Amino acid sequence: MNIGLVVEGPDDVATYPVIIKRIRPDVERVFPRDCQGRRNLRSKFTGFVKEFAARRDQQIGLVLVIQDSDCHASGPIEHQLRQRLEQAHLVLSFPVRFYATKCELETWLLADEDAINRVAQWRGKTQTVAPVNISLENHRDADTTLSRLLWGVGLSADPRVYAEIAQEIDLDCLRRRCPYFREFCARVRGT
């Protein structure tokens, strides 16, 4: 199966496909679309959904539209996105699922310090990060916290490093530390 993915930016484009394929190994390809910001996501995502519907060669079985919640309630954001799609009156051969990440994508990447340490080690760095003892799904500025941690071990906060951390992150640890991640797994699996 192939998945169409509509996200806010380049970090999301690099990271979400890695996590999606780890959750659902039967996914052959993820076709990401970068909206270049949250505001653009809200105005552009229906166009990308139309594009996925028109591109039959991509054989899309599911489209995920993902937006950060910035620590606001996820439900209303997901509902607003769903309403926008309904107002577009598109006839689709695949389901579209919406997900508002609790706070930010970086929240997930902070959940498993060992993943960051492994990426740093593979890149020849000798410093390590200490456990992040914060309530991740309530932590504003996860992007700043992650950038600071990465800088401290000599890594850049860029899409490539994000994808490498996503490949290494312990998904069970992520589920424990970020409980709303379970809902993401359910939407990716279609349950």
60's tokens: 């899309």
Same domain, 126 and 159: yes
- What is the torsion angle, in degrees rounded to the nearest 10, for the CA atoms of residue 168, residue 118, residue 113 and residue 126? -160
Q: Tell me: pLDDT of 191 over 70.
A: no
Confidence of residue 58 (pLDDT cuts 50, 70, 90): confident
Tell whether 98 and 116 lie within a shared domain: no
Alpha helices in 90-168 (DSSP H): 105-109, 113-122, 142-152, 159-168
pLDDT at position 43 is 94
pLDDT of residue 105 exceeding 90: yes
Q: What are the φ and ψ backbone dihedral angles of 134, each rounded to 5 degrees?
A: -135, 160
17 and 79 assigned to the same domain: yes
Which tens digits make up the pLDDT trace of 44-54? 999 999 999 99
In CATH, what number is assigned to the domain containing residue 36?
3.40.50
Clarify whether residues 62 and 140 are in a common domain: no
Q: 29: domain range?
A: 2-103+180-189
145-177 pLDDT per residue, tens:
999 999 999 999 999 999 999 999 999 999 999
Average pLDDT, the chain: 95
Is 67 strand, coil or helix?
strand
One domain for residues 140 and 91? no
21 and 33: one domain?
yes
3-class DSSP assignment, residue 40: helix
Count of domains in the chain?
A: 2
- One domain for residues 91 and 30: yes
Over residues 62-79, mean pLDDT: 95
Q: Are residues 91 and 165 in the same domain?
A: no
Instruction: Assess whether 69 and 98 both reside in one domain.
Output: yes
- For the full predicted model, state whether its pTM sits above 0.85: yes
| pLDDT given for residue 20 in this prediction | 98
Residues 74, 132, single domain; the answer is no
